[in-house]
Amino acid sequence: MSERTIFLQAIEIADPADRQAYLDQACQGDASLREQVESLLKTHEETSQFLETPAVSFDSADQATVVHDSTDDREEREPETTTAELELKKYLDPPTREGWLGRLGHYEIEEILGRGAFGIVAKAFDERLHRVVAIKMLSPELATTSPPRKRFLREARSAAAVQQENIVAIHAVEEEPIPYLVMEYIPGPTLQQRMDTKGPLEMSEILRIGRQIASGLAAAHAVNLIHRDIKPSNILLTDGPQERVKISDFGLARAVDDASMTSSGMIAGTPMYMAPEQARGETLDHRADLFSLGSVLYQMASG
């Protein structure tokens, strides 16, 4: 497991004893690796206080997510290398369709859609229900460690708790042979890709997309769930004349009354879009998501 991956997982663990236990397991006695990771953790804690305001000076290509790295933002959309295919095929049965990658239970895997720091996303076909789905699998190198598994299951439960047309639906969650989520497949682009292509959007489009994001957030907030990472790359747009917004990636979501949300003082989210109180590691409520929505609206208007 890489230094970067261990660091990204460790900063999510609030309890010091649990974090040390995770480092013991992840570093596997490698003193040099342990020292490097602990140095990164110390630097992260010291610099967290610096983020008292959103880091709006970042270029879009360099935006950093404090809990999960920026490659995660694109994991469901970017073309993937054969490396991910090779990793994934270890857990797949032989395919029944020519040219496909293999089978995972009753799901036939067609292609890799992308890969981030925490998982691999693939397009698949559900043989039982005869529908196209997206499958998000925990990276094999993380599948045996407890914190990543917990985060993975939290994402599934968070998203599954909200049933609303503007939120990507979770169909199932499985743990064998590797933890994976079965999700609604959205064939269209992300909002980030739309803006990269078109630049500033027309006011009518901004209002239409903004209303749907707000509607999805209202449904999440109604069950006391805060997304904490609303940004253009987490907003999917369906294909077709009746384009619909779908909010994705509930990996950082928390219940409003979840004490672990701020007990560690760690910052979770993407600096360019987060509310000031989120950047300071303070207690959050639904207004943090509304601030992020405002940042997204501004970017849609300004390009």
- Any idea which residues carry the catalytic annotation? 229
Scanning the structure block, which residue is given the tokens 């940004």?
231
3-state secondary structure the chain: CCHHHHHHHHCCCCCHHHHHHHHHHHHCCCHHHHHHHHHHHHHHHHHHCCCCCCCCCCCHHHCCCCCCCHHHHHCCCCCCCHHHHHHHHCCCECCCCCCCCEEECCEEEEEEEEECCCEEEEEEEECCCCEEEEEEEECCCCCCCHHHHHHHHHHHHHHHCCCCCCECCEEEEECCCCCEEEEECCCCCEHHHHHHHHCCCCHHHHHHHHHHHHHHHHHHHHCCEECCCCCHHHEEECCCCCCCEEECCCCCCEECCCHHHCCCCCCCCCCCCCCHHHHCCCCCCCHHHHHHHHHHHHHHHHC
